[in-house]
Amino acid sequence: MLASTAMRLFKDRVRPCALSPYIFMTDPERVPDILRSSAALPKGSTLIYRHFGAENRRDMARALRQICFVRSLQFLIGQDEALAYDVGADGLHLPEKDLKRGKVLRARYPNWLLSGAVHSPASLEHVDGLDGMILSCVFKSESSSASVPLGVEKLRAVAHTSPISVFALGGICRKNVHELIGSGVAGIAGVAAFGGDQHD
């Protein structure tokens, strides 16, 4: 349900986007077995590795890079430009506070895929250079960093006015993903539901 709906959203997206419609964002606390979850992703998905300073981040990134190569997944590193370059990642994912780096990174790595996290309308001014933004949170989420849910109507408004493609994040599951159909988003992103191998 999640992956097939993501593909439908991608076909109906407001604007073209180089990022795939199904994005898995790692989290060592919510998804402890990152390698297993990544290996179970549908082919053609995007994997964003967020290491949060883990000591084994280089070895983990290399292992994930291999999984992505075998399964034809897009592989982005969260925030760590040096690590992304070192392991040959496909690009970088920026936290909201670093969105302004988008222009510089685009000039430095014209072939990289660049995504960014957006949690507030004010941040929409800083998405230049990015291929897509991951907007949260759409529905009520169990994440400790989750804010007040935007709801589908606000999500739709952003998707139709944003200069770049929008991906929905936050509380998305099999029971509510159909509510995103017609919103204009280019796909969905997730942590717990995706990491739990709850695809089609």
pLDDT tens figures, 100-132 = 999 999 999 999 999 999 998 788 889 999 999
Q: What are phi and psi of 126, to 5 degrees?
A: -120, 30
Q: What pLDDT shows up at residue 147?
A: 72
Report the 10 Å Cβ neighbour count for 127: 24
Domain of 176, in residue numbers: 2-195
CATH number of the domain at 10, please. Answer: 3.20.20.70
Q: Answer yes or no: is 200 within a domain.
A: no
Report the 10 Å Cβ neighbour count for 67: 18
The pTM score is 0.93
Q: Answer yes or no: is 38 within a domain.
A: yes
- β-strands 91-94, 187-190 pairing: unpaired
Q: What pLDDT shows up at residue 198?
A: 53
Read off the pLDDT of each residue in 191-198 and give the average, rounded to a whole number.
64
Q: Answer yes or no: is 126 within a domain.
A: yes
From CA 95, how far away is CA 111, in angstroms rounded?
20
Q: Which run of H or E residues covers position 38?
A: helix 34-39
Q: For the ranges 51-55, 140-144, 150-154, 186-190, which has the lowest average pLDDT?
A: 140-144
| Residue 72 tokens, joined | 């034809």
Q: What are 68-107's pLDDT values in tens digits?
A: 999 999 999 999 999 999 999 999 999 999 999 999 999 9
Q: Answer yes or no: is 105 within a domain.
A: yes
Q: Answer yes or no: is 78 within a domain.
A: yes
From CA 68, how far away is CA 50, in angstroms rounded?
15
CB 142 within 8 A of CB 29: no
Q: Answer yes or no: is 83 within a domain.
A: yes
The number of domains in the chain is 1
Sorting pLDDT into bands at 50, 70 and 90, what band is 200?
very low
